[in-house]
Structure 1
Amino acid sequence: MVTAITNGIEVSVEVTYQAEFSSPLQHHYVFTYKVTIQNKSTHTVQLLRRKWVISDAAETTKIVEGDGVVGQQPILEPGQTHSYVSGCNLKSGMGKMRGSYTMQKLFDGKTLEVTVPEFQMIANIFHN
């Protein structure tokens, strides 16, 4: 698990290789990641947008942007936590992701960029 704190917002990411949904012979590797966002600030915030930078060892880096996370724009009061699970497909068994969330402080409307720490995706293709 990797963790970063920006402006009082803690973001932790835990990655799992999904061997049962992957096909290494077809260069298809599936990873899921669980993101936990905890508001350790004194302000209520809302997650508005996400930006991901996805690097696959087999191809160039791509950027994915959009509103919210998995169809939600959660509001987090001080001390609250929001978790979600999403996924990523790679053509190689190795890659990494990093990104940011655009959040808005509800009391004054100011936005802030919150770092999503870089995390590695490495396929465990060797079974004991």
Structure 2
Amino acid sequence: MSSTTTQGVEVSVETYYQPDYSNPMSGEFMFAYRITIDNHNNFSVKLHRRHWYIFDSNGEYREVEGEGVVGVQPVLQPGERYQYVSGCNLRSEMGRMSGSYQMENVDTKRFFDVDIPAFEMIVPFKYN
């Protein structure tokens, strides 16, 4: 698991290879990832946007950005945790993602960026 804290917001990531949704013979590798966001601040925060950097070991690079996560813009009260699961497809057995969230301090209406730690996506047979 990868984890980092930026301005009182902790982001942790766990990854899972999805063999039932992958086709290695066709160069299709599907990964799921679970994000956990913990608000360690004494104020509420709202997640407005996400920005991802996706690196495939075959040399491909993609950027993905948009509003919210999995269709929502969650508000986390002080001490609250939010989790969601999403996925990423690669054309090779290994890759890496990192990124950031644009958050808002609900009290002051000020925006700030929160880092999403870099994490690797590797098919299990590559570990051998």
TM range (shorter): over 0.9
Does 2:123 match 1:116?
no
How far the C-alpha of 1:108 sits from its partner, in A, is 1.0
- 1:86: which partner in 2? 86
8 Å contact kept, 1:44–1:106: yes
Distance 1:125 1:87 in 2: 20
How far the C-alpha of 1:125 sits from its partner, in A, is 3.6
8 Å contact kept, 1:30–1:90: yes
Distance 1:59 1:84 in 2: 28
Report the CA distance shift for 1:73/1:67 in structure 2 as closer, same or farther (over 3 A).
Answer: same
Distance 1:125 1:72 in 2: 35
Q: What amino acid maps onto 1:60 in structure 2?
A: E
What are the superposed Cα offsets for residues 40-82 of structure 1, whole Å, 9 maximum, x if unpaired? Answer: 0111000000000000011321100000000010000100000
8 Å contact kept, 1:59–1:91: no
**Same amino acid, percent of matched pairs:** 44
Q: What amino acid maps onto 2:80 in structure 1?
A: Q
Counting only pairs closer than 5 Å after superposition, residues 1-128 of structure 1 correspond to structure 2 as 1-125=1-125
Which runs of structure 1 show a deviation greater than 3 angstroms over 4 or more consecutive aligned residues? none
How far the C-alpha of 1:19 sits from its partner, in A, is 1.1
Q: What amino acid maps onto 2:58 in structure 1?
A: A
8 Å contact kept, 1:19–1:125: no
Unpaired stretches in structure 2, ≥5 consecutive residues? none
Q: TM-score, normalised by structure 1?
A: 0.96
The alignment yields a C-alpha RMSD, in angstroms, of 1.2
Distance 2:120 2:23 in 1: 19
Q: TM-score, normalised by structure 2?
A: 0.96
What are the superposed Cα offsets for residues 101-127 of structure 1, whole Å, 9 maximum, x if unpaired? Answer: 00001111100100000000001247x
